[in-house]
Chain A
Amino acid sequence: MLLFTCPNCGPRNETEFHYGGQAHVAYPANPAELSDREWAEYLFYRENTRGLFAERWVHSAGCRKWFNMVRDTVSYDVKAVYRIGELRPETLERAAAATAPDQPQQLAPAQANPNNASEGV
């Protein structure tokens, strides 16, 4: 069973929480000026990240408050928990990407999963 650390309540069972999708999707400044396509993309289009992903969760069986979490979608490791309204914290991988601009921001598949390194051989 996964333990998530609610910013208000501390470590609790994952079944006490509900998922709220990708975090930091900003509401459009002028929604009336968007085309139908842009509006649909705001409403429905989300990243499908392999690796570190910032997402919203609500502690529905506890304090009922929303918060943000950076989770590794491959390993389910929770890398950071932070409150609604706070900026996404620098995680180790992002800091590494920032110092090496040639590298893509997401982990390459071979780095994320060593088993893939032998693929195609």
Chain B
Amino acid sequence: MGNTALNTEVAALRRSPAHHLWTDFTVGSVAGERGVTLREVPFQRMVGIRVDPASDTGARIGELTGGLPLNSGDVTTGESGAAVLWLAPDEFLLVAPDDGEPGSGALVASLVEALGDGAGQVIDLSSNRTTFELAGPSAQAVLEKSCAADLHPRTFAAGTAITTEISKIPTLLWKTSDSTFQLFPRASFADYLGRWLLDAMTEFAAEGTPWP
């Protein structure tokens, strides 16, 4: 950690799991009123947190994260810009933008300190998953081709996140606005899911009757 120059050099050599598809994502994105765009958001900081949110340890961690979500779908956001997604009653995923810090960075260190010797776990999982952002008027229709969860706004409102499967790939799905979704597949599935989404987007580029 001491050699900052070397760390910067190493950071510049990072390759995100879907980097080889970036051009395809740009070409495959569709503009207009039936539009849908796809891009990878690389190197987000992700931290796996396992703790009982009602415990003292959970409260200490919650102080850093703006609380911990208590129900399926809930997402809490703190002052730091980090969001905490509910995975299970005692399991959460913190997601924050790429901080460029070497190793686990200061955020993880502060969470580990808050955990202390309490029952639970704080682990840097930044390399476990990558982030796809699917956005536009047809984004929901693209997802509905291969996601069995009910994505209708009455049950899946902006600001909620669920664990589900997209084209059989275990994926966290976070609806960040009415027409924007962030997908978190594991890195090894990024190529498959990226190509699958591109294929599902193709029809919206075609001229013709709008999707009902």
Chain A interface residues toward B at CB < 8 A: 1, 8-13, 15-16, 61-65
Q: Is the interface of A mostly helix, strand, loop or mixed?
A: loop
**Interface range, B side:** 10 to 19
Q: How far is the CA of A10 from the CA of B154 in the complex (A)?
A: 14
Q: How far is the CA of A12 from the CA of B163 in the complex (A)?
A: 10
CB distance from A57 to the nearest CB of B (A): 15
Known contacts A12-B149, A13-B148, A13-B149; A61 and B89 CB within 8 A of each other? no
Is B72 interfacial (CB 8 A cutoff)?
yes
Chain A to chain B: the 10 pairs with minimum beta-carbon distance, closest first: A13-B148, A63-B88, A9-B72, A62-B163, A61-B165, A61-B170, A8-B72, A65-B88, A64-B88, A8-B89
Q: Which residues of A contact B162 (CB under 8 A)?
A: 9, 62
**Could you write out 27 A-B pairs with CB less than 8 Å apart?**
A8-B72, A8-B88, A8-B89, A9-B72, A9-B162, A9-B163, A10-B72, A12-B149, A12-B164, A13-B148, A13-B149, A15-B148, A16-B164, A61-B165, A61-B170, A62-B88, A62-B162, A62-B163, A63-B72, A63-B87, A63-B88, A63-B89, A63-B91, A63-B163, A64-B87, A64-B91, A65-B89
CB distance from A95 to the nearest CB of B (A): 31
Which parts of B141-199 form the interface with A (CB within 8 Å)?
A: 148-150, 162-165, 170
B164 near A62: Cβ-Cβ < 8 Å: yes
Q: How far is the CA of A63 from the CA of B164 in the complex (A)?
A: 9
Q: Which residues of A contact B89 (CB under 8 A)?
A: 8, 63, 65
Q: Which residues of B contact A64 (CB under 8 A)?
A: 87-88, 91
Q: Which residues of A contact B88 (CB under 8 A)?
A: 8, 62-65
Which parts of B120-154 form the interface with A (CB within 8 Å)?
A: 148-150
CB distance from A51 to the nearest CB of B (A): 28
CB distance from B173 to the nearest CB of A (A): 11
